[in-house]
Amino acid sequence: MTPRIGHLDADCFYVSCERVRHPFLRGQPVGVLSNQGACVIAKSYELKARGVPTGMPIWEALPVCPEAIFVKRDFEWYEVLSRRMLEIVRELRPAVEYYSIDEMFFDAREMTFADAKRLQRAIYERTGVPVSVGLSLSKTLAKLASSSGKPLGCVMAVGAEEVQQLLRGRPVEKITGIARRSARRLEGYGIRTCEEFARADRRLIRRLLTKRGEDLWWELNGTPVLPVQTARTAHKNLARGGSLGVATADPERLTGWVARNAERLVEALDYHRVDCAVLAMSLEFKDGGAAGAQFRLPRAAADFPLLYETGIKLLERCWGQSPVVSYMHLIAGELTPRAFAQRSLFDRPTPRQEVLAEVKRQVNERLGRFALRSGATLPLADLYADEASSYDVCDIYGKTCF
């Protein structure tokens, strides 16, 4: 049989990007920090070997590896290199799925091992980013193949023996889509490895993990059911938010975060040309626990005043007894394409709001993102002063993973 699908995965992508523009970082233990410098979100192999895991706070990582070099993440720069990688893959294999900032699937029919090595070399020579490549019969197998060869590996698993070797002994959590909770459920039935998953009864897998699990079962057995998506399907929801960096119970800072997330959500809705009929909020607290709520909007909308006002109401409902908040998300649901929206004179922002929104867009396009923003974000002046906070991975559009 011939390879059907390929998977390309950059090695230590964020660190590799930093090494492209700062060559002195090569060979050094390097960690890339979150936008507020609190946690390690990516690490070099050298730093991993010193015992620093992803997610470790900087104040814990420094004692573990005092000689480490830590840098703030810069997703705008990472996107530049990611897009270059995408262009190179498309030159050789036109059918490409931009899965994430550092991963791509592509149609690998008629592709040989030598072709895969040429692709790998081309990306390194033209971008400076090392990548691993996997070729196999399905997307799931191709991803397992590329990960098995890291770093800078090139693995082909096409024949029955090659596929079996790829699956043997590999923990079931290595399958994309099998998280810790699903792994525990499978373990109760003696399924701990990818090979045991592939050999299990298909009906059992479906009962335990629904259709998504059954799709993975077919994929591991060499029958591709997950196609290479050259264009992203329409979003069902759009969300903006994340870690607050420094957890807080300050009402003014929390209100500022509502405003920030609402403005970023409006950007996303405008980009995709959709309105939302439902707005939801999710909070996570420092001492554990979470809260969430949602409201149906009086009209399908994508304007800041309504989303912000609704976000404040959601905060009042979710944030009881002043707990310390560590994460906040605003989620827009029931999205409607604007081209199909039915509106009346009363079912829209006021003329003044529309003018203000347009002025805001034009000013920010000329002077930079967030140059003009809601006054409610003033308590977050420290956040906006940090350039690393101006751009996030969710601002890179076109990826299929989220």
CA dihedral 372, 375, 380, 383 (to 10 degrees): 0
Residue 13 has which token pair? Answer: 């992508």
Structure tokens at 334: 């029931």
Instruction: Give which of 204, 201, 245, 230 is closest to 34, Cα–Cα.
Output: 245
Q: Write the burial class of residue 167 (CB in 10 Å: 0-12 exposed, 13-18 middle, 19+ buried).
A: buried
Cα 66 to its chain centre, rounded Å, is 30
173 is catalytic: no
Q: Is 211 exposed, middle or buried (0-12, 13-18, 19+ CB in 10 A)?
A: exposed
Residue of 17, 32, 22 lying closest to 69 (CA atoms): 32
Report the candidate in 100, 336, 340 with the shortest Cα–Cα distance to residue 236: 336
| Collapsed DSSP state (helix, strand, coil) of residue 193 | strand
**Alpha carbons 55 and 74: distance in angstroms, whole number:** 17
Q: How far apart are CA 198 and CA 216, in angstroms?
A: 9
- CA distance between the termini of the chain: 32
Greatest Cα-to-Cα distance within the chain, rounded to the nearest angstrom = 68
Where is 157: in which H helix or E strand? strand 154-157
Sign of the Cα pseudo-torsion (117, 118, 119, 124, in order): positive
Full strand arrangement of the beta sheet holding 30-33: 40-43, 30-33, 69-72
* Residues facing 104 on adjacent strands: 8, 98
**Which residue among 18, 97, 103, 195 is the active-site one?**
103
CA Rg value for the chain: 23
The residues facing 30 across adjacent strands are 69
CA–CA separation, 2 and 95 (whole Å)? 17
92 phi and psi, to 5 degrees? Answer: -100, -35
Contact present, 70 and 18 (Cβ < 8 Å)? no
User: Which residues belong to the active site?
Assistant: 103
